[in-house]
Amino acid sequence: MELKNAKQLRGTIAVPGDKSISHRAIMFGAISEGITEVSNFLQGADCLSTISCFQKMGISIDNQPDYVVIHGKGLHGLSKPQSVLDAGNSGTTTRLISGILSGQPFDSVISGDASMQKRPMKRILTPLSAMGADVRSEKGNDCVPLAFHPAKLHGIHYNSPVASAQVKSCILLAGLYADGVTSVTEPVLSRNHTELMLSAFGARITSLGRTASVQPQSRLKGLKVEVPGDISSAAYFIAAGLLVKDAEILIQNVGINPTRDGILKAARAMGGNIQKLNKRTVSGEPVCDLLVTSGPLHGTTIDGELIPALIDEIPILAVMAAFAEGTTVIRDAAELKVKESNRINTVTDNLQRMGADVTPTEDGMIITGNPDALHGADFNSCMDHRIAMSFAVAALALKHPCTMKDAECVTISYPSFYSDLESLICL
């Protein structure tokens, strides 16, 4: 794909629904009793994989363009799937459903695409096995396919070595089927959508500091869920508004959950001009409109407890750093190695293609901004949606033509990304 550059950006957009919340709305609705209605659901490939998995387990799901209706059958209403559950490219689907599958009275197997079959699952296999789950990696490499067999689950207190909402959510979902209280303590608090939403569905779940606990559950009850706009998707337009020299963009209905808003903190630390307007609460999640205005950026350090709140936004932050004055240091982000691609490598490669001064490290990268040295490039997405979107934004601020290999991978999380981006370009 040929990528466009821009001298001016103007307009108002609403990004698609939050991917994390969309996944959870389907899963929790399926194991609840009665109807769950979801508005502003993200119609991306990953979330559609979640729908497909639950349909294979006997859940009727009516997926319309404007809403999704899940006809839940309760915690014990799922049926044995007649074929392998295919999570596609979705780590969220794989890891969260694994917690539910561990507590079912039937055999099942979950797998995914070639990329998914390389992503680490030991991080969930270890705590699930400690709970008594009968689960194994069919290839013996701690990756999918994962095979589940009926087993009695026990409540545990798990000290997670990683701050991961997927790991935490997997354990808490398995805890719904356990014989006692299940708790997870993280080294740093990860996103808390599971805790907020499970509580709304009726689960007895508590959070205290870095520990979340759930009690065994007899029933959950369906409800209406309005999904806020995904701040991870908004991040690309935040960056575009800051990087293009003449830009003003209003991004409507963005979720600003404090466990997810690291992009705002990091962008402001770099000097970004971002205003929060029309603050409100939607389905228990804080939401606002973001007004982004262009201006000079400077380097900063991104590390520590901030990392879990912006792990998916590091590629676009790295792009911003290349255009900023001074040096940006990103560390404590080794998790980047096990995303859809090794994002330390893919970000470094694409930044170097456009002439940026970047040095990869074991847990991040060091970027010395020099806008005058940057030039057009042929980017490679490596089939990673966040790499594709990040460098499409970079192309806006470069003076020379750019292309993107495998640009269509953005359908994983943001099918209309390119058209939305183009709608802001002033000719």
**CA dist., res. 86 & res. 146, Å (int):** 11
Dist CA 222 CA 324 (whole Å) = 47
Query: Alpha-carbon distance 41 to 21, whole Å?
Result: 9
60, 291, 318, 357 from 343: Cα distances, Å: 37, 28, 11, 17
Q: Tell me if the bond preceding 145 is cis, omega within 30° of 0.
A: yes
**Distance in angstroms (rounded) separating the CA atoms of residues 279 and 288:** 4
- The residue among 189, 328, 316 whose CA lies nearest residue 259 is 189
Q: Which residues are catalytic?
A: 312
Determine whether 349 is exposed, middle or buried from the number of CB atoms within 10 Å of its CB (0-12, 13-18, 19+): middle
Instruction: Estimate to the nearest angstrom the gap between the alpha carbon of 418 and the chain centroid.
Output: 19
Q: Are 255 and 229 in contact (CB under 8 A)?
A: yes
- What DSSP character marks residue 367? E
DSSP readout, 185-196? Answer: E-SS----HHHH
**Are 317 and 268 contacting, i.e. CB atoms less than 8 angstroms apart?**
no
Distance CA 377, CA 389 (A): 15
CA 39 to chain centre: 18
**Half-sphere exposure in the Cβ direction for 180 (13 Å, CA):** 7
Integer Cα distance of 268 and 297 in angstroms: 9
Cβ neighbours for 126, distance < 8 A, ≥ 6 positions apart: none
- DSSP, collapsed to helix, strand or coil, labels residue 57 as coil
